[in-house]
Structure 1
Amino acid sequence: MDAASRPAVVIDNGSGYSKLGFSGNSEPSFTIPTAVAVNESFLNQSDSSSNGNSIAQYNAGIMADLDFFIGEEALSHSSGIYNVNYPIHHGQVQNWDTMEKFWQQCIFNYLRCDPEDHYFLLTDSPVTTPESREYAGEIMFETFNVPGLYIAVQSVLTLAAGYSTPKSDMTGVVVDIGDGSAHVVPVVNGYVIGSSIKSFPIAGNDVTQFVLQLLQERGELIPPEDSFDIARKVKEMYCYTCSDIVKIFFHPEIYNDDFTTPLPDVIDSCVQSSPIDTRRALYKNIVLSGGSTMFKDFHKRLQNDVKKIVDDRIAASTARLGLDVKPQPVEVNVVAHSIQGYAVWFGGSVVASMPEFYESCHTKEDYEEYGASICRTSPIFKGMY
């Protein structure tokens, strides 16, 4: 059977969690921590006993490559002879060897598929460098021998999910707050306005740390080895956003004195730095993505605060210019949905289900002819607009 006739593999790698599954499904098959536990004792033993024996070092390297765990299993092996590594920090891959190990287990142990039989869609941060995309392409084509690869920007996939507007209208501001990174990204007709991307240095992991700090200050008796996990569960089960009382994302100086710009101001700055003829459409479709946007009433507070900023600016401009005619109000709409925790993956599933997907992928033949540079960019589907 031809690979193009099979469902594509969709992998959304995040700093905290990764979502894995196949195109056409409404939710990922697996959501696992992006963590790898590697047994490096083989290498340590080799260094101390081989005395330059290259064969011993080679064998130790093979054993170290084979003995590792990912996801929850990796976290359960966090003590002893295993070292837990997180290959992605703030949305960027920092360790490609560890990333390759992670993908290996995702493909063979979790999805249980042959990578040579499926096209692949990988997600990418909007601020990732072209060189990073090349590394991902090299691993996929060289190590896993995939027949085709598409690397999609996470923010575009969020809009492609189609739960905010029809998929034919790919314009909006994506507020993506995951576990390790947070970005506000304007997208116009499917294209990211790179110069207007704003990063927000507080993400889900920081909120967990803040909750843990509060628990410790209250003197809660929590086992040290379980403290972070308990704080994360407290955050996910009990945290919510008040309509007027200060909270982390809206008053970040509570957590970090180095950054004092509230999230609504970051969003407004993002839109105001975009082309003037796109701003109304961007304000009209502010789309939430990532698990750290799923606090109860988060979208209501955000919409109210952004709307107030916009209305105050219009009122101030009207008064300053002495206008008698009231200008047309700007519609501000923040979109929340039950799938926003895995909106990027779902958007990838939608995109990879389209007939244009296989035509737009970089193929193994293209890679062999032109090299990894083909992975620097991926075409936008014309059929979506």
Structure 2
Amino acid sequence: MRIDALRREFGSFTALEGLELDVPAGEFVALLGPSGCGKSTALNLLAGLLDPTTGTISLDGRRIDRLPPEQRGIAMVFQNYALFPHLTVADNIAFGLRMRGCPKPERAERVRRALDLVRLRAQADRYPRQLSGGQQQRVAIARAVVVEPRLVLMDEPLSNLDASLRLDLRTEIRALHQQLSLTTIYVTHDQTEALSLADRLVVLRDGAVQQVGTPAEVYERPANAFVAGFVGYRNSLPGTLTGGVFDAGDLVLRVGGYGTDRPAPGPAVAMIRPEDLLLVREPAAGSGNEVPLDVRVCEYQGRGFAIEGSGPGGQLLHCRSDRSFRPGERAVAVVAPDRVRLFARPQTETPTPDRALPVDGQPS
């Protein structure tokens, strides 16, 4: 698939601005970003549910942006399942084949294979109301893949499920993709989901692409402060970089690593993941930058504690520890110089912390 300069305007508002993307056959691409960033607009343009203001979409060398949805060879999995309540599981899966005039014997065999793929053969004669949310979403996925589309679009298909079901179905989606090698474009605001599923990520903000790369590239080398904040760098400190020292006023940090990624001396922002800012009572000699912290909140999270505290100058910091601290307790947060990520000072703020989750899916 080739997406070239794709743009969508709603009056004076630009929802998507010049999206450029090549998607090789069999690749799994995730469009990632906060609400309102343009990812669902992009998906609806690909599906034919919206017309582009400018730009083109080509699939297998054929331009499809002027074709109606049913002629594009695309299947879509919706957030709310969109199953027919009056049809059985098998009939829901067979619906697209029937609309395409697939002969009944072939249709029955393809439905049987699709049921086996999503492990729902025993539920073939049930109705959607008799299924769990996870089972309904598996029916929706089976209905999409049974027609053997050239492209599968998934619009936040796991967002309506509880945490345990999301994890299970995420694994199933990845296994299904590996088994069928379907070209897939997946929309999500959950970076954990995107990192675990996709071959490549496209991070969007306000309709514009911020970074395109593999999950490892985006996670380990975010292109700017916005991307860093979205993939888990919850602590953001404005200040000034001079040589190997970052001065945030009441807080001074030694910095290192990242080579040519380091911005030029001058106004900058330092960003630190909570898991790299470790709260201890007695730091070891030479362990890194030491930041005094007054504990405000300590949350038990199974494998450790997530802690919010007030640092020098009242700066709120988020860190981790393997032991509990009491609110009001004085402690020291330690971060190694090479775990402080530096960016040129952004003109706008980084995303709000509640949108960013660590890779293990627990709030930070």
| TM-score normalised according to structure 1 size | 0.25
- Higher share in helix: 1
| TM-score normalised according to structure 2 size | 0.26
